[in-house]
């Protein structure tokens, strides 16, 4: 029997890679133990896959908790698919219309994929897919092994920027504590710092690699919009590459027929974002954030979350263009 593939979004982050691994584990536990049988019968084995290269933080995390990187898979044609950490067509596997989506487990706005049949669709408005997953483990009575707990914890630390992001919920903190206990991690701050350091590794990377490290496409009121994010412990690390990053998003904009591309340069310690912007109509920036673009960028104090603090105001601004 052909397997079900679990896939996170394009330009995968630690949550997207990690939650694909964790969902596959949980799915296979459901299959073996029958703990989901009262809702749905599971016949196929789940296999995690990825749509792109690992970022340095994810590499560190997989090593730290002893996981192999999932295989690369970018075409969904004829496959059964579980979506992790997204439900937007622009972010999902190619030819999703020729695939069968059997489940979605996420923590974002609902995207634009649709299914002809009822499916398992779990989405809590929390800081990380791993938080949604912890709730699901508990709900279905499946035990979490230490290495899976570590991977889940790392996903939460990554997505919530160690609980600094406004996306962080009480549930995320509660779940992180439980996972740390299972994983045997006493010093959560030390883990977070190691992850931030790995995440901040920009030396020797091409501008294009940096732009695409954490990059998402959106359809905003019919306009093609890209929003990338680089999170670093200090913006000083980006001082030398900022010009090149700006040139790169300008290039990508014209190559890809974009209306706008925004690149968030997020300072984890200062807890704010310098946002580079290229746009056919730069007034969207002031409409969205109440501050005009100053030259190439705008400083957004306290802004760390693309999902909660950047995409929704941009969607609103584009709707009123």
Using rule CB under 5 A, residue 15 touches Mg ion: yes
Give the containing element (helix H, strand E) for 300. Answer: strand 297-301
Residue 57 interacts with Mg ion (CB under 5 A): yes or no: no
Q: What is the footprint of Mg ion within residues 119-138 (CB under 5 A)?
A: 129
Q: Give the separation between CA 315 and CA 321, rounded to whole angstroms.
A: 10
Q: Which is nearer to Mg ion, 36 or 192 (CB)?
A: 192
Characterize the bridge pairing of strands 46-50 and 100-106. unpaired
CB–CB of 23/84 below 8 Å? yes
Region of 14-22, 27-35, 96-104, 117-125 interacting with Mg ion (CB under 5 A)? 14-22
SS3 content of the chain, % helix, strand, coil (to 5): 40, 20, 40
- Toward Mg ion, which CB reaches closer, 261 or 293? 261
Q: CA dist 285 to 50, 117, 278, 299, Å?
A: 33, 40, 10, 11
With CB under 5 A, what is the number of residues at the site for Mg ion?
6
> How far is 282 from 277, CA to CA, in rounded Å?
8
Question: Per-residue x/- marks for Mg ion, 204-243, CB under 5 A?
Answer: ----------------------------------------
Contacting residues for 251 by C-beta, under 8 A, at least 6 apart: none
**Binding of Mg ion by 85 (CB under 5 A):** yes
Of 215 and 293, CB closest to Mg ion? 215
Residue 169 interacts with Mg ion (CB under 5 A)? no
Considering only 11, 16, 200, 266, the residue that binds Mg ion (CB under 5 A) is 16
* 88 in contact with Mg ion (CB under 5 A): no
CB of 315 to Mg ion, least distance (A): 18
Contact present, 113 and 101 (Cβ < 8 Å): yes
Q: Is 274 in the site for Mg ion (CB under 5 A)?
A: no
Extract the tokens encoding 153: 């914890």
CB of 221 to Mg ion, least distance (A): 23
- Residue 159, interface with Mg ion (CB under 5 A)? yes
**CA distance linking residue 115 with residue 123, whole number of Å:** 16
* Window of 7-15, 87-95, 96-104, 309-317 that interacts with Mg ion by CB under 5 A: 7-15
> Which residues bind to Mg ion, rule: CB under 5 A?
13, 15-16, 85, 129, 159
């Amino acid at each position: 029997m052909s397997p079900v593939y679990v896939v996170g979004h394009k330009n995968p982050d630690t949550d997207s890679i990690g939650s694909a691994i964790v969902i596959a584990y949980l799915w296979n536990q459901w299959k073996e133990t029958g703990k989901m049988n009262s809702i749905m019968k599971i016949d196929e084995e789940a296999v995690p896959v990825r749509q792109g290269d690992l970022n340095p933080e994810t590499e560190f995390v997989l090593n730290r908790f002893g996981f192999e990187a999932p295989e690369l898979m970018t075409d969904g044609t004829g496959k059964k698919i579980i979506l992790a950490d997204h439900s937007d067509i622009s972010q999902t596997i190619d030819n999703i219309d020729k695939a069968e989506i059997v489940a979605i487990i996420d923590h974002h706005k609902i995207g634009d994929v649709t299914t002809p049949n009822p499916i398992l669709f779990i989405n809590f408005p929390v800081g990380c897919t791993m938080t949604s997953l912890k709730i699901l483990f508990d709900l279905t009575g499946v035990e979490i092994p230490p290495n899976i707990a570590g991977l889940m914890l790392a996903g939460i630390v990554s997505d919530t920027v160690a609980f600094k992001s406004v996306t962080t919920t009480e549930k995320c903190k509660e779940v992180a504590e439980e996972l740390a206990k299972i994983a045997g991690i006493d010093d959560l701050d030390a883990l977070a710092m190691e992850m931030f350091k790995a995440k901040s590794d920009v030396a020797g990377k091409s501008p294009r690699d940096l732009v695409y490290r954490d990059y998402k496409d959106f359809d905003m009121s019919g306009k093609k919009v890209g929003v990338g994010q680089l999170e670093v412990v200090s913006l000083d690390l980006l001082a030398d590459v900022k010009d090149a990053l700006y040139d790169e998003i300008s290039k990508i904009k014209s190559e890809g027929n974009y209306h706008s591309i925004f690149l968030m340069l997020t300072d984890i310690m200062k807890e704010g974002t310098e946002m580079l912007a290229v746009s056919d109509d730069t007034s969207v920036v002031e409409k969205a954030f109440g501050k005009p673009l100053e030259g190439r960028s705008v400083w957004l104090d306290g802004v760390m979350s693309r999902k909660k603090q950047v995409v929704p105001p941009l969607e609103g601004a584009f709707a009123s263009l």
